[in-house]
A and B are shown apart, each in its own frame.
Chain A
Amino acid sequence: MLAAVGALSLGACAARNDSGSGNNASSQSQAAAPQAAADAADPAGDGKAQCAPTSIAYAGTINGANAALGQNILYGVQLAVDQHNKANPGCQVKLEKFDTEGTPDKAPGIVTQIVNTPSIIGVVGLPFSGESKAAGNIFNSAGLVTVTPSATNPSLSQNGWKTFFRGLGNDNTQGPAAAKFITGELKASKVCVIQDDSEYGTGLAAATIQALGDKATCQDKVKTKQTEFSAVVNKVKSENPDVVFYSGYYQEAAPFAQQLGDAGVKAKFVGPDGVKDDEFVKSAGDAAANAYFTCPCVPADQFTKFSEAYKASSGKDPGTYSPEGYDLTTILLKGIDAGKKDRAGLLDWVKNYDGQGLTKHFKWDDKGELAKTTIWTYKVENGKIVRNTEIK
């Protein structure tokens, strides 16, 4: 559930536009960024696709406090559809947009509306885990395929929904990977795990604490929208850990990291994908230099073609989960190009899909989880987030 605060980011992943070569000199440990696979699926296809006019939908937050994450995804989706329609005059796919505001109580009404619109045969969304829990069964009973670019709560795939497909690793893969990174590469033996009260934060913290074992020497909880952390900071300071892992979003992580730094806590600050955002780096000020991130997202340094097209169409740099949204939409579009013209056909297409995308290789198991996922770590250099290593 990448929920709540959403990665806003005018250009999260600032490293995206630099070629990567300049940074390699300053940091030997940095792994090479993945090249955009030559065989990555392209929404344009061969340009000869024929189909009756049909629709796919984006359902998720578009406006509201957590909107930026939704917009990152939406622009990625829009770009794929635009490229497809431009290249294939014989097959025009319409993108319908539905704003759920990211809350579980709005989602069922909107999702019902989507499944009652017969022309929609595939959906990109829902981005957050809470709304997915509230509305996932509606998609399932309608047999309408959904591909989520950012809902990472592990239990979502345990509901027996036949229509749920997750385009990235879940929290249970990121937690142990983060623990491995903290104890391995960062060589920490005392770790403080601080979690917020979001589903994402608590779930990820539980997975991480379990993997850290007795190295997780202190824990505390904070609230989303909290800005004042003096009591937690005092507690961390007296524990004197090697690493502070903050399981939550950047909006709280930034003031927290800054207040830790001011109090003289020298521990390294590690945050998950919810923290990995340019906003964190800008807002944490001096404290950001000390920060690392883990993320089930792939460094997009080499996706120059995608980045340029994205910027041209949306006016912004791609943000967290923009490439995922683009990739997943491409899969749906390829299905339509291949002649799938109803919900059952497209569902079948996604279920049996096996192909390379920009971010990763997409092939799902019977629960809708990716067969193979990757977790990368990132760090801050000269005020920008750059890739560090892949956790294997």
Chain B
Amino acid sequence: MTTTTTPAPAQAKKRRPLGEWWNNLSRVQQWGVLIPLVVLVYLLPVLNPPILTTEPGYDFPIAMFEVARYALIAIGLNVVVGQAGLLDLGYVGFFAVGAYVAALFTSPESSLSKLPFLAVLPIAMAVTMIFGVVLGTPTLRLRGDYLAIVTLGFGEIVRLLADNVDPLRGNRGFQQVGHPPGTKADGTPLFTNTDGIPWYWLCVTIIILILFLVGNLERSRVGRAWVAIRDDEDAAEIMGVPTFKFKIWAFVGGAAIGGLSGALYAGQLGFVNNQKFDVVTSMLFLAAVILGGSGNKVGVILGAVVVAYIPLRFLVIAEYKYLIFGVALIVLMIFRPQGLLGARQRLLTYGRQAYQRLLGKGEQISSDNALQTESTPGSKS
């Protein structure tokens, strides 16, 4: 699903030829391009292309699963941050809840009844949604940065609870977390923590489903309400949008996707402990969204690829990995402040038809920095 990862123009004002070309294609033509591309994405870990590969440092199929997992997280966080404009610094908390739900219901080291892994996925989503409501109800009345610090606090509380509450086993963790059913020809399980390919395929399939879901949501009443809230909450409220309700919706929707990716993470790894749910991880999730282009779901996938893939690709220069990463974040943000693929303001519902009728082409390419209306005081001078 990386069709529109066009070589983005350096200047924000420039037209995007590839993007325009894409938007002017008919639905059928778009599918004609998309389907081979999706097939290619599916085949990536099998092809193991020489330049892209992370080997000999890191198993390539597992690396690809990592990337796909980050992409799923970025799509989920994008609903909260990009669509509804709620700054969430504690997204890792939802991810952790999903991972722990999967572990608690499948690991032999937990005292709960064991359930099949595939049944646990919806449970993980449901439980995380409950957490979303519990966190959202009191906090979503807060604005902007206050919301950010409260969510950051929530993420930390989840991590600390995993540490302190004895049945959650802290650093000892849960071994032998379950995996989906299915065996290979020789009778060994299909899904193991040594083979990334089935997990990658599962994850990409889920991403495609979620993309359809989120795409439709985006064009629905809910999605329009989110955009309204993002751009001006007071105006939205005055125009009759029940902002609080839709903010909760965004929060819960994002949480569910976070929980789902957490459960997949737990399943692939086969082991969950409290080590990877810290603030830094949360920041990396957010970095994927902002870097890719907050509000643009294809953009955030690209951002996730950058954030997850680069450290694995350059394992060899481990010592400078994070220095390079930090510099890359600063430089990218200076040169592409709207993200690699910024979101554009455009008509949502029936947008395609409207543009066709009015302009005779797929979409009006507005300026790339549409999201910049929400800018710092400094930008005005």
A–B touch (CB < 8 A): the answer is yes
Chain A contact residues, CB within 8 Å of chain B: 62-64, 98-99, 101, 103-105, 108-113, 115-117, 130, 133-135, 137-138, 141-142, 155, 159, 197-199, 202-203, 221, 223
A-B contact pairs, 7 of them (CB 8 A): A104-B173, A112-B194, A112-B196, A113-B58, A115-B194, A133-B175, A199-B172
B57 contacts A113, C-beta separation under 8 Å: yes
Distance (Å) between the CB of B61 and the closest chain A CB?
Answer: 8
**What residues of chain B lie closer than 8 Å to A202, measured between beta carbons?**
170-172
Tell me, rounded to whole Å, the shortest Cβ–Cβ distance linking B45 to chain A.
12
Contacts of A99 in B (CB 8 A): 315, 318
Determine if A197 and B171 form an interchain contact, defined as CB atoms under 8 angstroms apart.
Answer: yes
Question: A197, B163: Cβ atoms under 8 Å?
Answer: yes
A109 near B319 (CB under 8 angstroms)? no
Contact B275 A104 (CB under 8 A): yes
Distance from B304 Cβ to chain A, minimum over Cβ atoms (Å): 16
B56 CB within 8 Å of chain A: yes
Besides the known contacts A109-B196, A134-B271, A197-B163, 13 further A-B residue pairs in the complex with CB atoms under 8 A apart: A64-B318, A99-B315, A101-B318, A103-B275, A104-B276, A108-B194, A112-B193, A113-B55, A134-B270, A138-B193, A155-B172, A199-B170, A202-B172
Inter-subunit contact A105/B276 (CB<8 Å): yes
Which B residues lie within 8 Å of A110 (CB)? 57-59
- A115 vs B62: C-alpha distance in the bound complex, in angstroms? 13
Neighbour of A133 across the interface among B196, B271, B315, CB < 8 A? B271
Docked Cα-Cα span, A156 to B175, in Å, equals 11
Taking CB atoms, residues of chain B closer than 8 Å to A108 are 62, 193-194, 268-270
Question: Closest chain B residue to A138 by CB distance?
Answer: B194
Q: Is the Cβ of A134 less than 8 Å from the Cβ of B59? A: no
**Cα distance A135–B66 when bound, in Å?**
16
Contacts of B270 in A (CB 8 A): 108, 134, 137
Interface range on chain B: under 10, 10 to 19, 20 to 34, or 35 or more? Answer: 20 to 34
How many Å lie between the Cα of A159 and that of B172 in the bound state? 14
Cβ contact within 8 Å between B275 and A159: no
Q: Restricting to B28-57, which residues have a CB under 8 Å from any CB of A?
A: 55-57
CB <8 Å contact, A197 and B170: yes
Q: How far is the CA of A3 from the CA of B320 in the complex (A)?
A: 22
Complex CA distance for A113 and B171, rounded to whole angstroms: 25
- B338 touches A (CB below 8 Å): no
Please name all residues of chain A whose beta carbon is closer than 8 Å to the beta carbon of B62 when the two chains form the complex.
108-109, 112
On whether the beta carbons of A63 and B275 are closer than 8 Å, the reply is no
CB distance from A259 to the nearest CB of B (A): 22
Cα A203 to Cα B173 with chains together (Å): 12
* A368–B52 alpha-carbon span in the complex (Å): 39
User: Which residues from B are CB-within-8-Å of A112?
Assistant: 59, 62, 193-196
What 9 A-B pairs are tightest by C-beta distance, nearest first? A109-B62, A134-B271, A112-B59, A199-B171, A63-B318, A113-B59, A109-B59, A109-B58, A108-B193
Q: Which residues of A contact B289 (CB under 8 A)?
A: none
Q: For B58, what are the chain A residues with a Cβ–Cβ distance below 8 Å? A: 109-110, 113
- A141–B175 Cα distance when bound, in Å, is 16
Best-buried of A115, A116, A155 by chain B (most CB within 10 Å): A116
Nearest CB on A from B132, distance (A): 24
Collect the chain A residues with CB atoms within 8 Å of residue B175's CB: 133, 159
Min Cβ gap B175→A in Å is: 5
Task: Tell whether B83 is near chain A: CB-to-CB under 8 Å.
Answer: no
Tell me which residues across on chain B come within 8 A of A223, comparing CB atoms: 163
